[in-house]
Amino acid sequence: TATALKDLEITDLRVAFDGFTAVDGAALRVGPGDLRFLIGPNGAGKTTLVDAVTGLAKATGTVRFGPHDLLGRPVHRIARLGIGRTFQTATVFENLSVLANLDIAAGAARRPHTLLRRRRGVPEEIEHALETTGLAAARDRQAGVLSHGQKQWLEIGMLLVQNVQLLLLDEPVAGMSHEEREQTGQLLRRIGQDRTIVVIEHDMDFVRTFATSVTVLHAGRVLSEGTVAQVRADPRVQEVYLGE
Ligand code: ADP
């Protein structure tokens, strides 16, 4: 089916650093229309799992995105399959405008001489990303003066113009105001309709409001998985989170 083409499927994933096993046989499957949150205590292996998917961490097991086997491929080839991530600290070009940031991102897949200033008008995919992320009115502002929330949205916009179909987001709402969190959740819902999204998140209010499913990682393994209500009712999860 068309949906399976964008499914992320991880089985028996292992990542070890000098004998320490950070991811220890994790498995998960997620596709478009399912806003998946990856939660778990510090050190559970969440970031390392995402590093393995994006090619930053050497892993064993299987990681598939649609028909593609990802393990063993270099970072840039994984990116070219439409897989992108954000980090807790947004990595935008602070001295450039919102529009120029999006253009550079889009240009990563274009030849250099088609840069924005040489063209008439703004390409449709950039216009679309501005609308989707709510940054249309801020298009000419320097990225460095944007709010923390707007920078995160710009980063997501930069993934959208690269036609990313699997988005891995690392604590996108950390440091955001309540209103920005709400807008971020709505944004993820919208773009997650036809893209696969996995969000590492510690903010349980945000998870409760926007997750359609949750994977709880603990000591490098999947401790529990299901709806928020299901994992909250799971005694194994209560044990791990006791006192937090
Ligand atoms: P989380 O994102 O869930 O907080 P991480 O994936 O960052 O957890 O880390 C999982 C475990 O792996 C932690 O114990 C961490 O110290 C360890 N770890 C992560 N990266 C490295 C590394 N590059 N070298 C050694 N140990 C690491």
Q: Which residues pair with residue 193 across a beta bridge?
A: none
Chain-centroid distance of CA 234 in Å reads: 26
Which protein residue has the closest C-alpha to ligand 1 atom 16? 43
Domains and their CATH numbers in the chain: 83-164 (3.40.50.300)
205: its two tokens: 């209010």
d(CA 84, CA 104): 15
Which numbered atom of ligand 1 lies nearest the CA of 48? 6
Write the pLDDT tens digit of every residue in 100-154: 999 999 987 565 545 555 556 888 999 999 999 999 999 999 999 999 899 999 9
Whether 216 lines ligand 1, by a CB cut-off of 6 Å, is no
- The 8-17 sheet, strands edge to edge: 20-30, 8-17, 60-65, 68-69
Write the pLDDT tens digit of every residue in 147-199: 989 999 999 999 999 999 999 999 999 999 999 999 999 999 999 999 999 99
Q: How far is ligand 1, taken at its centre, from the CA of residue 241, in Å?
A: 19
Using DSSP bridges, classify how beta strands 8-17 and 35-39 pair: parallel, antiparallel or unpaired. unpaired
Q: How far is ligand 1, taken at its centre, from the CA of residue 9, in Å?
A: 22
* Surface-to-core class of residue 25, CB atoms within 10 Å of its CB (0-12 exposed, 13-18 middle, 19+ buried): middle
Rounded to an integer, the average pLDDT of 12-28 is: 97
Write the pLDDT tens digit of every residue in 219-229: 999 999 999 99
Chain-centroid distance of CA 91 in Å reads: 14
Chain-centroid distance of CA 75 in Å reads: 15
Chain-centroid distance of CA 143 in Å reads: 20
How much is the ipTM here? 0.97
Whether 43 lines ligand 1, by a CB cut-off of 6 Å, is yes
pTM: 0.93
Query: Would you say 71 and 78 are in contact if contact means Cβ atoms under 8 Å apart?
Result: no
Provide the mean pLDDT of the chain: 92
d(CA 168, CA 197): 6
Write the pLDDT tens digit of every residue in 40-57: 999 999 999 999 999 999
d(CA 147, CA 220): 34
Which numbered atom of ligand 1 lies nearest the CA of 57? 23
Q: How far is ligand 1, taken at its centre, from the CA of residue 39, in Å?
A: 14
For residue 201, pLDDT over 50 is answered with: yes
d(CA 181, CA 202): 13
Which protein residue has the closest C-alpha to ligand 1 atom 19? 48
